[in-house]
Structure 1
Amino acid sequence: MTDFVRIFDTTLRDGEQSPGASMNIEEKVIIAKQLARLGVDIIEAGFAISSPGDFEAVRRISHEVEGPIVCSLARAKLEDIDKAWEALKGAPKPRIHTFISTSDIHLKHQFRMTREEAKKRAVEMVKRARGYLDDVEFSPMDASRSDVKYLYEVIEAVIDAGATTVNIPDTVGYAIPSEFGALIIGIKDNVSNINKAVISVHCHNDL
């Protein structure tokens, strides 16, 4: 892959979760246009299935804002992938960003899935998204608390399924910088097809 840093901005999706930071559709479009002027490479415009407002924000930003790739977040569920595509369809630079957790604590208590079930779902939903477009991002949620061997397996499987970007999130702000750096090095050294995807990171400092 080309060796340069891409800026992925999630102000309009994750940033809006900050207290007092909610925005209406017009405000989101204004911010997205400013992000484009700043030279941001990818804008995560929203979570299309979460509300009619988010759907419309994704639709308008992806069609009206020139320059950046515009993506919608989507859980690894058929209805989420399909709704994201409905909002993005016809846009010049669309991306679907889908996710499922890989940490045992999330799989047991939040998703109530086995590791194999989660990996199978991840692969199926990446393939579903690739059926709509060529630019698909996958995030193994809570990667920094995941068993690394299992994490490597999931990443390799979703790249084989067509993921073009793999985002590594420190979802709960668990890792310190040296640990997170070591995690990325481990992925580069142990995922055999990692050269076929862009590595992205999503760091938190919430505590």
Structure 2
Amino acid sequence: MSTQPPAEADRSFNRSMLIKLFVVALMMFGFGFALIPIYRAICEITGVNNLVQRDTSAREAKNTQVDMSRTVSIEFDANARGPLGFMPEQRSMDVHPGEVTTVMYDVSNQQARTIRAQAIPSYAPKQATEFFKKIECFCFTQQTLTANESKRMPVVFVVDPKLPKDVKTITLSYTFFELNTPAAANADEALPKANAGNAANPAATAAKPT
């Protein structure tokens, strides 16, 4: 009964492990891009926890009583999943509850192609979520950036004066997800070309089984 030499066995094991790691990485990459449609589907089905809708109107915010007796520190964070440059123009600010405030975020497309992306907000501590009211936000809609385009995007918000007194700091974090991957874009481009080819060759189209 023959056995593999130790060196050959090691190489075989390494190849097998490399393939497994590649498959896991590919699955994780695909799951990251699937988060947006999964998130949207869950929100549409349940009708709850939709973080990309307006939390309050400008009129409602202006009618809110400003609590000048306390301040809350707002920290801003930005993350990108895909070839995007994304960051807030300032890392933190102090606001009075009930005070309408604007902060700017910068996003840039670092590719020579058009990118569609969607930002999803999150908050810390979690209990602050219902008290952080977005009036205007780039996260309400998908953003399209052409090749090498940059944008300044505002977030207009107000902190509800009903925020618990023990919450003195809120972290607003956005994650930008690319919606159109290069593979999907190439597939979309290939489909019209295939249809055009069939139109130019009706005999080939007619030969296809129905």
Is the shorter-chain TM-score for this pair beyond 0.5, marking a shared fold? no
Query: Relative to total residues, which structure has the larger strand share, 1 or 2?
Result: 2
Name the TM tier (shorter chain).
Answer: under 0.3
The structure whose residues are more often helix, as a share, is 1
Larger relative contact order (Cα-Cα within 8 Å, sequence gap ≥ 6): 2
The two structures have a TM-score, normalised by structure 2, of 0.23
**TM-score scaled to structure 1, two decimals?**
0.23
Find the structure with the greater CA-based Rg: 2
